């Protein structure tokens, strides 16, 4: 993609031969990425090989990600050695390609997850033919067609003491693409106050599709501290959304439409902590973000208030949550590529959602983030409040 070409540009210019440049120009002309005039301009206005290489790669980058991917594929086909040497074979930038961004996580740089979104191609292997298996959460083509997800992203903050979340636009784009590929209708909100987040979750709990869906995903991305995410008008403790409210609003008592259905929660936000260095850290104010804001638990109903024929069920069940870090620690976000957690979710789901249930997917994400640690940039995502009683597969059919 365009970002990946940026990282390999220097090595590409150093190593590509004039013959390969000519072949690549013919390839992208045939693809319709450039026209005859653009091809002639690259060749005639840049008699030196290195200048032709720069003009080629810069022209394609401006054409967007689809054009960039096609060029990368042509490089691999025309010169496999060049493809490997510049760092394209692993999907990672070559080590010297971008020294200013040396602290970015060493992972595949993807504009968004490229999960194939059809029932047949997204079928999982291990659970094939288990549509009616009582040991997994039921999923049907009809329930898939009624899936709905809530996506809330806070990017710009009104309080001058709170940094805007650079790179969060990429997170929002990646998550919306992934949710859509998983066939969820996305209810999207951007830049909400704490109260507005609460209202959005309540509204979501009343969505008409919840009666027919097999599951929901709720993704909230913002600054945060232990137990809360911050609204965009944050000033100290004035504008917060308690994470516990998600479980309250979508739990059995307040949202019976989701009874016995998986509710998957993803929270990208700090849970306290210390400032970052090169990579922007989701740390609005370290003195405040370490505080643990206790939320009162709703009182349990007295037994004598319940008639004998009352259908009793668990107040909180069928949830699974992935939080971006352990309690009291920060979460990291790259200014260009977005949050580490969201990058790895997009990558992992693309590679493994065909065959793994949600708990395995989360575990793979946790390991990937852990293994990406560089120096003091360390983050450990945490699976939290898991009350799933069966495996949940996004597409368990044959």
Answer whether residue 393 is part of any domain.
no
Shared-domain flag, residues 314 and 251: yes
Shared-domain flag, residues 149 and 92: no
Token pair 């999907």 in the structure block, residue: 91
Shared-domain flag, residues 183 and 309: yes
**Domain span at residue 38?**
2-101
Answer whether residue 131 is part of any domain.
no
Predicted confidence (pLDDT) at residue 108 exceeds the cutoff of 50: no
Radius of gyration, alpha carbons of the chain: 24
Mean pLDDT of 222-234: 86
Predicted confidence (pLDDT) at residue 88 exceeds the cutoff of 70: yes
Shared-domain flag, residues 194 and 257: yes
- Band of pLDDT at residue 285, cut at 50, 70 and 90: very low
CATH number of the domain bearing residue 10: 1.10.533.10
Answer whether residue 59 is part of any domain.
yes
Q: Which of 98-102, 126-130, 181-185 has the highest mean pLDDT?
A: 181-185
Question: Residues 109-146, buried b or exposed e (16+ Cβ, 10 A)?
Answer: bbbbbebebeeeebbbeebeebeeeeebbbbeeebbeb
Answer whether residue 120 is part of any domain.
no
**Range from 143-147, 260-264, 296-300 carrying the lowest mean pLDDT:** 296-300
Q: In the chain, what is the greatest distance between 2 CA atoms, to the nearest angstrom? A: 89
Shared-domain flag, residues 60 and 191: no
Number of domains in the chain: 2
Shared-domain flag, residues 179 and 35: no
CATH number of the domain bearing residue 315: 3.40.50.1460
pLDDT, position 292: 28
The per-residue pLDDT of the chain, averaged, comes to 78
The last residue of a domain, from among 85, 101, 117: 101
Q: Give the CA angle between residues 143, 152, 116 to the nearest 5°.
A: 45
Shared-domain flag, residues 150 and 93: no
Catalytic residues, which ones?
223, 270
Shared-domain flag, residues 211 and 352: yes
């Amino acid at each position: 993609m365009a970002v990946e070409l940026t990282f390999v540009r220097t090595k590409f210019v150093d190593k590509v031969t004039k013959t390969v440049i000519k072949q690549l120009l013919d390839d992208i002309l045939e693809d319709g990425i450039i026209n005859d005039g653009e091809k002639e301009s690259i060749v005639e206005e840049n008699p030196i090989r290195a200048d032709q290489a720069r003009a080629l790669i810069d022209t394609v980058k401006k054409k967007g990600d689809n054009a960039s991917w096609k060029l990368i594929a042509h490089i691999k086909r025309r010169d496999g050695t060049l493809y490997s040497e510049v760092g394209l074979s692993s999907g990672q930038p070559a080590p010297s390609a971008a020294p200013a961004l040396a602290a970015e996580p060493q992972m595949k740089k993807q504009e968004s997850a490229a999960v194939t979104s059809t029932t047949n191609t997204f079928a999982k292997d291990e659970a094939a033919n288990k549509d009616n298996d009582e040991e997994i959460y039921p999923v049907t083509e009809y329930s898939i067609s009624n899936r709905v997800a809530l996506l809330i992203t806070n990017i710009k903050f009104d309080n001058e003491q709170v940094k805007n979340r650079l790179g969060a636009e990429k997170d929002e784009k990646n998550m919306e693409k992934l949710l859509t590929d998983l066939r969820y209708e996305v209810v999207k909100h951007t830049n909400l106050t704490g109260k507005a987040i609460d209202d959005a979750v309540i509204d979501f709990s009343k969505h008409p599709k919840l009666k027919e869906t097999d599951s929901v995903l709720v993704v909230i991305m913002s600054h945060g501290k232990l137990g809360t995410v911050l609204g965009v008008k944050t000033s100290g403790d004035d504008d917060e959304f308690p994470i516990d409210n998600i479980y309250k609003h979508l739990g059995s008592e307040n949202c019976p439409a989701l009874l016995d259905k998986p509710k998957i929660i993803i929270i990208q936000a700090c849970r306290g902590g210390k400032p970052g260095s090169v990579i922007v850290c989701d740390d609005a104010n370290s003195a405040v973000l370490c505080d643990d804001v206790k939320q009162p638990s709703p009182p349990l109903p007295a037994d004598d208030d319940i008639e004998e024929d009352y259908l009793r069920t668990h107040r909180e069940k069928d949830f699974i949550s992935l939080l971006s870090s352990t309690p009291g620690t920060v979460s990291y976000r790259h200014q260009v590529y977005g949050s580490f957690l969201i990058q790895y979710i997009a990558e992992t789901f693309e590679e493994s959602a065909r065959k793994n249930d949600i708990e395995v997917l989360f575990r793979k994400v946790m390991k990937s983030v852990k293994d990406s640690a560089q120096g003091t940039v360390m983050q450990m995502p945490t699976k939290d409040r898991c009350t799933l009683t069966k495996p949940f597969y996004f597409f368990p059919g044959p």
